[in-house]
Amino acid sequence: MPVLRKMALRVLNNLREVNQMKGLTITASLAASLILSSTAILADTAQNNLSEAASVFSEIMATPDKGIPQDLLEKAQCIMIVPGLKKAAFVVGGEYGRGFVTCRNHGGRGWGPPAAVRMEGGSFGFQIGGSSTDLVMLVMNQRGMDKLLNDKFTLGADASVAAGPVGRTANANTDVSMSAEILAWSRAKGLFAGVSINGGTVRNDLDENQVLYGRRMTNKEVIESDMPAPESGQALLHALDRYSMHKEGNADRSKDHQ
């Protein structure tokens, strides 16, 4: 892939500058190995993350009594899934994890192409141990979606976040979906529950989008486009269609954000 080679070449050029300062050289064979290895790693990472996101959602919804309430899912405009959220101490720079967000197609039928996100920092209403934790968030209204289309936003500050209820329906917790812009859940060691989040920053992952779509695209560009999802994202969209093909109500994702 030419795009991935360019990304790998940037890394290689940086290495050359460092090595020149140290009086070292990089051979042609080593350069080729670096480019090929970087290309494979970047592609595998994006595809694996999408596959993990699809598995997380399918496994959660397979147990409806302990999953995301169906009525909330049908009202949601977008869903964000971050599989394998990790403790900051184990990640360079305090980055928690990478995931994807997808929003309803125009007209409310089906889901659009997934856009990549990075999640960094923040205070979570659960303790992340040595093992990873899966995070799922529903964006419930246009205000939340407006924040999602920014280059970055802070959960709990720029967008209000509440712990989502668990079960087949949320009839007893209707107030939570009416007031919060985003509802959040976590799954760790088999336990799925609503979770409060404060201060976590969600950013566009331009590198992952470039791997998936062939050029650097913001999440606003991906979400508001009519381009097809990459093959690696089909499993996630099929799972979402299975559990919520149509959005309840008339609102859908908008292009009025130029």
Q: Is residue 227 within 8 Å of 209, Cβ to Cβ?
A: no
Q: Can you give the residue ranges of every domain in the chain?
A: 44-243
The per-residue pLDDT for range 85-112, each reduced to its tens digit, is 775 544 444 447 899 999 999 888 899 9
Tell me which residue has tokens 């959005």. 247
Distance CA 222, CA 206 (A): 11
Contact 8, 1 (CB under 8 A): no
pTM, whole model, 2 decimals? Answer: 0.76
Amino acid residing at 138: L
Which pLDDT band, with edges at 50, 70 and 90, does 133 fall under? Answer: confident
34, 11 Cβ separation under 8 angstroms: yes
Task: Compute and round to an integer the Cα radius of gyration of the chain.
Answer: 19
Tens-place pLDDT, residues 61-87: 998 888 999 989 999 999 999 998 775
Place of tokens 């009086």: 23
Both structure tokens of 4: 């991935």
**Residue pLDDT, tens place only, 171-212:** 645 565 567 899 999 888 778 888 888 888 999 999 999 999
Q: H/E/C letters for each residue in 147-215?
A: HHCCCEEEECCCECEEECCCCCCCHHHHHHHHHCCEEEEEEECCEEEECCEECCEEEECHHHHHHHHCC
The runs of H, that is alpha helices, within the chain are 2-21, 28-61, 70-75, 142-148, 174-179, 206-213, 219-223, 234-243
Is it the case that residue 257 has pLDDT exceeding 80?
no
The rounded mean pLDDT for the chain is 77
Q: In whole angstroms, how far apart are CA 213 and each of 2, 35, 94, 219, 233?
A: 12, 19, 27, 11, 11
The pLDDT > 70 percentage for the chain reads 68
In this model, does residue 37 exceed pLDDT 60? Answer: no
The SS3 call for residue 137 is: strand
